[in-house]
Structure 1
Amino acid sequence: MNKIDEPLKLTFLGTGTSQGIPVIGSTHPVCLSDNPKDKRLRVSVLISWEDYNFVIDCGPDFRQQMLRHQVRKLDGILFTHEHADHTAGIDDIRPFFFRQGDIPIYAHQRVVDNLRKRFDYIFSDEDRYPGAPAVKVNIVENDKPFRVGNMQAHPIEAYHNRLQVFGYRIGGMAYLTDVKSIEYKEIEKIKGVKVLIVNALREEPHHSHFNLDEALAFVEKVEPQVAYFTHISHLLGFHDEVEKSLPDHVNLAYDNLTVNLN
């Protein structure tokens, strides 16, 4: 467990790309690895402090992730964008809903509209199925911080190819995933952050994600105390080998890693 001076605990629920690692049916050496750090669920992070638990993104592995980390209370979900590997687990908020009531979600209006189409039974107020969960919608707009528990979340706008995505800064932590490009004014919002989490898909260039060199260049621009790479493909290579190649203040995240900022 790594420690930095702030009362936040980060738990990497998943650090894999959209297919996860191992990829179904793949015989790639990384997919056949016995190292637990080479086995990656779809990308998500749990942010905890005091009695609060917030997650960023809610992919198809959400149920497994909540069980694995014995999460009994969920105060909200912050969505980066609408792709399935970041949203497809929303139905599994049901146990939290049954105990707590409507679960707050935070997302761009476009993302909320997309979720309404795909999960209409969650958002509908008419003829609700008795077992369906419900959410409290909070629309996120750039340059407009919002409250999460007793802290503020700052949206960070970036682009996943041509698709707008939000990253988030909470306290000394900034989390961005599925980023390919980002404007200087958005980088300024996270300059010098204590902990930066950002995607690093593979070594080869990709049309909608940072590759390893682009992620390293982004870290140099932000100048965090420490950085963690996530949303990792099997094509990046074996965890232990990649980790050895990184600068001292840059780390390859892995599932179940915790970073305690206290």
Structure 2
Amino acid sequence: MQLRFLGTGTSMGVPVIGCDCPICTSSDPRHHRLRTSALIRSHGLTILIDAGPDFRIQALNAGLRRIDAVLLTHAHFDHVAGLDDLRPFCLRQGSLPVFGSARTLADVRQRFAYAFDDTSQGSSRPSITLHAVEEPFQIGPLTVVPIAVPHGTWMITAYRIGALGYVTDASTVPPSAVMALRGVRVLVLNALRAEPHPTHLSIAEAGRVAQEVGAQRTFLVHMTHSVDYRADYGLPPEVTFAYDGLEIEV
């Protein structure tokens, strides 16, 4: 299984519009963070996790030509705004299956109502088939386990696919989710900033969750422009920041 980080930034991305802070003006490409999204390749399948407003440029950067399924963590703008950019894939492949919680998919159906309007003949629109999931399900030979985690007052969906655990936008990771993730070799986990936040894990909180799960490697994503790769946040060596374009073997 291969994992590519398409984006590792928070909802405003990095650089932030109009910001002259050291991170937003940094020449280090790892400080340029598109909105958080990822790509999994395994058994000849390509699975996209979230499609935010940067998805078009992310797909071009990755040379992406095919998608077999889309997993949505939740329906906030920075995770679903790029669903319309699935159109080229739909035109080549036909309807794409999109998986998520019932609440997430209800929001998608409302926000992208034109995609499901049978009277809109002749228009170019994404052709997607929504699949609400609460229990483990199959994408080809891959078993995908949805895991509910809190995002402030929301409950959103993390995923386990074999040896990979993917958790973004969590404010806490409850014991039930930790148990569902135990045994993964690679964990992807959100870490917004050093300071506490009501709806996202801080860097220190993410470090503690990583230790509870016990993955061999943990990669942090969904960082704001306050996070500096050059700084020491006291993380253990197996916990590191991901960056846009990073590809790893799981």
Structure 2 letter corresponding to 1:258 = E
Look up the match of 2:246. 257
Alignment of 1:145-224 (within 5 A): 145-224=136-215
Distance change >3 Å, CA 125–CA 25, structure 1 → 2: same
Structure 1 letter corresponding to 2:150 = Y
Unaligned runs of at least 5 residues, structure 2 = none
* Deviation for aligned residue 1:131: 1.1
Look up the match of 1:3. none
* Deviation for aligned residue 1:129: 4.2
**Deviation readout 1:102-145 (Å, 9 max, x if unpaired):** 0110011111111111111112233344311211111111xx10
Q: In 1, distance between residues paired with 2:116 and 2:223?
A: 32
**Deviation readout 1:14-45 (Å, 9 max, x if unpaired):** 00000000000001111010000000000001
Structure 2 letter corresponding to 1:214 = E
Distance change >3 Å, CA 242–CA 253, structure 1 → 2: farther
Give RMSD over aligned pairs: 1.2
TM-score w.r.t. the length of structure 2 is 0.97
Q: In 2, distance between residues paired with 1:218 and 1:21?
A: 25
Alignment of 1:41-120 (within 5 A): 41-120=34-113
Whether 1:248 and 2:237 are equivalent positions in the alignment is yes
Q: In 2, distance between residues paired with 1:29 and 1:22?
A: 10
Query: The residue matched to 1:42 in structure 2 has which SS?
Result: coil
Alignment of 1:128-143 (within 5 A): 128-141=121-134
Contact 1:11 1:259 in 2 (8 A): yes
- 2:216 alignment partner, one of 207, 217, 225: 225
Q: In 2, distance between residues paired with 1:105 and 1:124?
A: 17
Contact 1:191 1:222 in 2 (8 A): yes
* Deviation for aligned residue 1:242: 4.5
Contact 2:193 2:224 in 1 (8 A): yes
Greater CA deviation, 94-103 or 181-190?
Answer: 181-190
Look up the match of 2:20. 27
Contact 1:242 1:252 in 2 (8 A): no
Look up the match of 1:4. none
Look up the match of 1:127. 120
Q: In 2, distance between residues paired with 1:217 and 1:50?
A: 32
Provide the identity percentage.
Answer: 40
Unaligned runs of at least 5 residues, structure 1 = 1-7
Contact 1:168 1:175 in 2 (8 A): yes
The aligned length equals: 250
Q: In 1, distance between residues paired with 2:220 and 2:179?
A: 20
Q: In 2, distance between residues paired with 1:86 and 1:212?
A: 21
